[in-house]
Amino acid sequence: MKARTSRSAAWLAAGLIVIGAGLTGCTIETRLQPASRAAAPVTAGPSPAAVHPALVLSGKLVPLRAPTHGTVTIVNLGDTVNLTLEQFATRPGRDLLLGLRPGPLNSNDTPGAAAPAPFELVPLKAASGNQTYNISFVLPRLQEFHNLVIYDAASGDVYGSADLAEQVTVP
């Protein structure tokens, strides 16, 4: 009986060692798998923002022929271009338009006379307030322009102008 008990104890000990080794192996494997996954995350591909940083043109409006102030921001997100006027105000006019130019204007310039006519964007929605315009149609030529003007098409007066500085950001 003593031999049988020691043999049973030996098998029991061997079984516990095998089970313990198996559990230890599982525990180690379980701990290694998440760590290796965390080191190399699986993704569907780079996000559009990482591939296409936003081109941002921005500037401060200065008065020319009319009291005008505010900030201009043009954001190119690849397939959409938005122009935003913030804290904007100018004198009301009959036919106010937003236009883009390759260079700055001075107080003596008018779109039709002393300076080349600007690239016409859109009619101004209002003479004051925050405003956003979709100007995606200008995308093929956006790199050509470094100045935004607000002008009265009827009189040719340029109310205000903003030199646009380029910044590249990730949206």
Over residues 6-60, the pLDDT tens digits come to: 544 444 444 444 444 444 444 333 222 333 333 434 444 444 444 455 779 999 9
Domain extent for 12: 1-42
Query: Taking residues 100-128, what's their average pLDDT?
Result: 74
- AA letter at 21: A
pLDDT at 40: 39
SS3 breakdown of the chain: % helix, strand, coil, rounded to 5?
30, 35, 35
* Cβ burial, residue 51 (10 Å; 0-12/13-18/19+): exposed
Domain tally, the chain: 2
Q: Which of 71, 76, 83 is nearest to 169 (CA)?
A: 76
For residues 110-120, average pLDDT: 61
Tell whether 87 and 114 lie within a shared domain.
yes
Going by DSSP bridges, is the β-strand pair 131-134/147-152 parallel, antiparallel, or unpaired? unpaired
* pLDDT tops 60 at residue 111: no
* Pair (17, 64) in one structural domain: no
Amino acid 112: pLDDT: 42
Q: Please state, for a pLDDT cut of 70, what percent of the chain lies above it.
A: 60
CA angle 123, 168, 85 (to 5 degrees): 25
Q: Are residues 57 and 108 in the same domain?
A: yes
Decide the pairing of beta strands 54-63 and 69-76: antiparallel
**Residue 117 shares a structural domain with residue 142:** yes
Residues 36 and 53 in one domain: no
Q: Is residue 68 very low, low, confident or very high in pLDDT (cuts 50, 70, 90)? A: very high
Q: How far apart are the C-alpha atoms of 89 and 139, rounded to whole Å? A: 26
Q: Is 149 helix (H, G, I), strand (E, B) or coil?
A: strand
Q: Across residues 108-115, what is the average pLDDT?
A: 48
Give the CATH number, domain containing residue 152: 2.60.40
pLDDT band for position 137 (50/70/90)?
very high
CB atoms within 10 A of CB 167: 13
Task: Please tell me what DSSP assigns to residue 56.
Answer: E
* Chain-centroid distance, C-alpha 134: 15
pLDDT of residue 29: 35
Strand duo 81-89 + 54-63: pairing = unpaired
* Same domain assignment for residues 55 and 84: yes
b/e per residue, 67-106, with b = 16+ CB within 10 A? ebebebbbbbbeeebebbbeebbbbebeebbbbbbeebbe
Q: Taking residues 83-104, report their average pLDDT.
A: 93
Same domain, 37 and 106: no
- Name the DSSP class of 128: B
